A and B are shown apart, each in its own frame.
Chain A
Amino acid sequence: MTQAQAPHLEDVEVTPWREYFSFSTDHKVIGIQYLVTSFVFYLIGGLLAELVRTELATPASDFVPRETYNELFTMHATIMIFLWIIPCLTGGFGNFLVPLMIGARDMAFPKLNAIAFWIIPPTGVMFLLSFFVGPASAGWTSYPPLSLITNKAGEAIWILGVILLGTSSIMAGLNFLVTILKMRIPSMTLNDMPLFCWAMLATSALQLIATPVLTGAMVLLGFDLLVGTAFFNPTGGGDPIVYQHMFWFYSHPAVYIMILPAFGLISEILPVHARKPIFGYQAIAYSSIAISFLGLIVWAHHMFTSGTPDWLRMFFMIATMIIAVPTGIKVFSWVATVWGGKLNLCSAMLFGMAFVSMFVVGGLSGVMVASVPFDIHVHDTYFIVAHLHYVLFGGSVFGIYAGLYHWFPKMTGRMLNEWWGKVHFTLTFVGFNMCFLPMHILGLQGMNRRIAEYDPKFATINLICTIGSYILAVSTIPFVVNAVWSWIAGAKANSNPWKGLTLEWTVPSPPPVENFDEDPVLVIGPYDYGTPKALEVVASTLAPPALAVEGAE
């Protein structure tokens, strides 16, 4: 490096790597901490899933002992839900994007933010260490009385872990709610917010309202397990159904905690790469709020076979089906946004469009299982496994990948390699559908979930699923290599590589500490693409910082 270049390098603020391993209160550092940590847990949870699929490659229970099989699928779901999707979408993307999008310099409570993050790694390690004493093995739903009689030590660790992660989630939700409501720049009303912020607002309300009830259920379950009370133990006069109500009062809204932020990400990504204004801004924004509200009153559709009375089943069936309305509004709006657009089929857009199509499959099977007579037949079968993976993998995970490809340049200042991105997309899309589409058939034919052995007549389809899952495992390799390599040596990104209009694209990549030198003033709506004004605004975001970055090279 020559003497003359030195001052330029000084100008570009780079967060030192040590910062990422410290108790940093910078929302961007915390966001990346969340993303990386949760991705590590995704790989671990994926490994557990591969072990489950390997066991299921053949009808006999011949790969791991049956008890181990129960532990594997229990911890797979626990890790994927509590340590991957929720922290990644809310903590990761929420933290990195929300303050930038609303023109704030940080979250409302930076220290609380850091505490919420630092609860997660130790809890995750605690879950993993529980494999030494036999982890929880009653399924991630942990229904009593089964959960009270299997692997007590592991179950106790599980309960403690869920309480801790729930607390972290409440802290994060509190922070997002206050930040979005109170920290916007003065020129931004609620209806000027990017749709991701609307989605995070709806999500944070759910986190705040539903999670404490789960904590209550966990405390009661813990007392049953460790002290010998009988809240949920029928032999002592308790009622396990009350647990199911408390559990699903949280865990159904948790589905929306896991999908609403992904809806938000997609609403950002599609218009940018279709170069068209979003279709139905207010419809998408308010449908997030509607989903959030309806999501709180549908929980007992998980309990149609738990002796729920008919009138109650009727109510929950209808309420559940009503959720398809706001969700459908979103899907139609996304399709209309893409329709006739000048599509830029980069990896982010591919994942974004795959998200819409895969989520529709999961949404449709969701309406099917919402219907009581149908649900009674497929309850606890592979149809449910297929449905939930289409929502959580085809939905949430595809949304996360789309978001990672879209905002990686902003987060790191480097571009991801597009060719490897497309390889990653193709493998993921093929592997995912090969793994989970046949499960619909398995379920309709009556194959039960959560059992290590099955009737040999299901062998062929199961083998296809297992091969699909291996493709899915392989598909993460190009992504991880691409991300690591690009972060170190990828092409430099300018401040607005996709020519976006939301505020995060007006600051350099990566954004400086405290984001904005002065309060930005809104000059254009978040999705006003295709207007002369948009050209002007994009040009203004590119001009000065791009020169600085090129100068540094």
Chain B
Amino acid sequence: MQGSTADQNQTDIAYAATTNAATEHHSEHPDLRLFGFIVFLVSESMLFLGLFVAYFAFRVVTPDWPPEGTEELELVLPGINTIILLSSSFVIHRADTAIKHNGDVKAARLWFGITILMGATFLAGQVYEYQHLGFGLTTNLFASTFYILTGFHGLHVFVGLLLMSTVLWRSRQPGHYSETSHFGIEATEVYWHFVDVIWVILFLILYIL
């Protein structure tokens, strides 16, 4: 590199030359984002596992569960919600297929849009259920665990909606996602499946068992 008197352009060129030379001898930085994201989800699942185990512990130490006088949970609305959320997993997978097989951004956008609608419907149903339940957050231990578990999951659904909206926003720019480069779409899909699996477990232990 030149001394301090060298003009900016020259320095830039010299710098570019050195970096090029460096990359030639250097293996390219592999794309590890998806791997890292999956590791993150494994870690995140420990958060839910901890809460699930805490739920069972509370259930074991409490004499009658749910405590007497707690309004029974009804199954129709949550059942419909479950079906909506589960089917949305198949919908979002179509977006993934579309982008991977022929780089069809338009189709991916469409499937993402539908998934957003389904996720939003799920959240709306959850809010409706909250409003019509006969117990509040602090009514008793059962009620508190119910709200914490469903609330935590709802938060994850909400984050999923944000992720999908981000993908939609970014996909406005042509070429942002393509057949070969589509981390955002893939990661969002994996995340959405994760949220789905958590819901299935949650639905089983809160409503069925």
Nearest chain A CB to B32's CB is how many angstroms away?
5
Given contacts A6-B3, A182-B35, 8 further A-B pairs with CB under 8 A are A174-B43, A178-B36, A182-B32, A183-B32, A213-B49, A213-B50, A228-B138, A230-B144
Question: Which of the segments B57-65, B92-100, B117-125 contacts the partner chain?
Answer: B57-65
- CB atoms of A108 and B36 under 8 A apart: yes
What CA separation (Å) do A209 and B148 show in the bound complex?
21
What CA separation (Å) do A211 and B42 show in the bound complex?
12
B204 on the interface (CB 8 Å rule)? no
A side interface size, CB within 8 A: 47
Residues 31-56 of chain B: 1 if any A CB is under 8 Å from the residue's CB, otherwise 0?
01101100110111011011100100
What CA separation (Å) do A516 and B140 show in the bound complex?
60
- CB atoms of B25 and A213 under 8 A apart: no
What CA separation (Å) do A517 and B18 show in the bound complex?
10
Residues of B within 8 A of A219 (CB): 148, 152
Residues 1-25 of chain B: 1 if any A CB is under 8 Å from the residue's CB, otherwise 0?
1010000000000000000001001
- CB atoms of A215 and B47 under 8 A apart: yes
Nearest chain A CB to B82's CB is how many angstroms away?
23
Most buried by A among B1, B29, B50: B50
Residues of B within 8 A of A220 (CB): 51, 54, 148
B141 on the interface (CB 8 Å rule)? yes
Between-chain CB contacts (< 8 Å), 28 pairs:
A108-B32, A109-B33, A170-B40, A186-B27, A208-B43, A209-B43, A210-B46, A211-B43, A212-B50, A217-B54, A220-B51, A228-B138, A229-B137, A229-B144, A230-B141, A231-B144, A231-B145, A231-B148, A236-B141, A238-B58, A239-B57, A241-B61, A242-B61, A246-B50, A517-B22, A518-B22, A518-B26, A519-B26
- CB atoms of A212 and B22 under 8 A apart: no
A249 on the interface (CB 8 Å rule)? yes
Nearest chain B CB to A296's CB is how many angstroms away?
10
Nearest chain B CB to A25's CB is how many angstroms away?
13
- CB atoms of A178 and B54 under 8 A apart: no
- CB atoms of A514 and B22 under 8 A apart: yes
- CB atoms of B3 and A242 under 8 A apart: no
What CA separation (Å) do A241 and B54 show in the bound complex?
10
**Nearest B residue to A177, CB-CB:** B39
B174 on the interface (CB 8 Å rule)? no
The 5 A-B residue pairs with the shortest CB-CB distance, nearest first, are: A518-B25, A213-B50, A212-B47, A216-B50, A212-B46
What CA separation (Å) do A7 and B137 show in the bound complex?
70
- CB atoms of B138 and A105 under 8 A apart: no
**Nearest B residue to A178, CB-CB:** B36
- CB atoms of A7 and B3 under 8 A apart: yes
B side interface size, CB within 8 A: 36
What CA separation (Å) do A6 and B4 show in the bound complex?
10
A456 on the interface (CB 8 Å rule)? no
Residues of A within 8 A of B140 (CB): 230, 236-237
**Nearest B residue to A245, CB-CB:** B57
Residues of B within 8 A of A108 (CB): 32, 36
Residues 87-102 of chain A: 1 if any B CB is under 8 Å from the residue's CB, otherwise 0?
0000000000000000
- CB atoms of B61 and A239 under 8 A apart: yes
**Nearest A residue to B33, CB-CB:** A109
- CB atoms of B46 and A209 under 8 A apart: yes
The residue that A212 contacts in the complex, of B27, B32, B43, B141, with Cβ under 8 A, is B43
A20 on the interface (CB 8 Å rule)? no
B30 on the interface (CB 8 Å rule)? yes
Which of chain A's residues 5-32 have a Cβ closer than 8 Å to chain B? Answer: 6-7, 10
A523 on the interface (CB 8 Å rule)? no
Which of chain B's residues 138-173 have a Cβ closer than 8 Å to chain A? Answer: 138, 140-141, 144-145, 148, 152
- CB atoms of A242 and B27 under 8 A apart: no
A39 on the interface (CB 8 Å rule)? no
**Nearest A residue to B52, CB-CB:** A216
A227 on the interface (CB 8 Å rule)? yes
Residues of B within 8 A of A186 (CB): 27
A420 on the interface (CB 8 Å rule)? no
What CA separation (Å) do A213 and B46 show in the bound complex?
6
What CA separation (Å) do A210 and B45 show in the bound complex?
11
Which of chain A's residues 185-202 have a Cβ closer than 8 Å to chain B? Answer: 185-186
**Nearest A residue to B1, CB-CB:** A10
What CA separation (Å) do A309 and B42 show in the bound complex?
31
- CB atoms of A208 and B25 under 8 A apart: no
What CA separation (Å) do A439 and B43 show in the bound complex?
38
What CA separation (Å) do A236 and B144 show in the bound complex?
11
Residues of B within 8 A of A217 (CB): 50, 54
Residues of B within 8 A of A454 (CB): none
**Nearest A residue to B21, CB-CB:** A517
Residues of B within 8 A of A178 (CB): 32, 35-36, 39
The residue that B44 contacts in the complex, of A212, A246, A249, with Cβ under 8 A, is A212
What CA separation (Å) do A217 and B54 show in the bound complex?
9
Residues of A within 8 A of B32 (CB): 108-109, 178, 182-183
The residue that B138 contacts in the complex, of A6, A227, A239, with Cβ under 8 A, is A227
A223 on the interface (CB 8 Å rule)? yes
Residues of B within 8 A of A514 (CB): 22
- CB atoms of B144 and A182 under 8 A apart: no
Residues of B within 8 A of A229 (CB): 137-138, 144, 148
Residues of B within 8 A of A6 (CB): 3
What CA separation (Å) do A227 and B140 show in the bound complex?
13
Residues of A within 8 A of B54 (CB): 216-217, 220, 231, 242, 246
What CA separation (Å) do A183 and B144 show in the bound complex?
44
**Given contact pairs A230-B138, A231-B141, A239-B61, A174 touches B36 in the complex (Cβ within 8 A):** yes
Which of chain A's residues 147-194 have a Cβ closer than 8 Å to chain B? Answer: 170, 173-175, 177-178, 182-183, 185-186
Nearest chain A CB to B21's CB is how many angstroms away?
8
Nearest chain A CB to B198's CB is how many angstroms away?
13
Residues of A within 8 A of B138 (CB): 227-230
Residues of B within 8 A of A208 (CB): 39, 42-43, 46
Residues of A within 8 A of B25 (CB): 517-519
Nearest chain A CB to B180's CB is how many angstroms away?
19
**Nearest B residue to A243, CB-CB:** B54
Nearest chain A CB to B206's CB is how many angstroms away?
16
Residues of A within 8 A of B22 (CB): 514, 517-518
Residues of A within 8 A of B40 (CB): 170, 174
**Nearest B residue to A239, CB-CB:** B61
The residue that B148 contacts in the complex, of A210, A223, A237, A245, with Cβ under 8 A, is A223
Residues of B within 8 A of A228 (CB): 138
What CA separation (Å) do A231 and B145 show in the bound complex?
8
Nearest chain B CB to A355's CB is how many angstroms away?
30
- CB atoms of B144 and A223 under 8 A apart: yes
**Nearest B residue to A179, CB-CB:** B32
Residues of A within 8 A of B39 (CB): 174, 177-178, 208
**Nearest B residue to A186, CB-CB:** B27
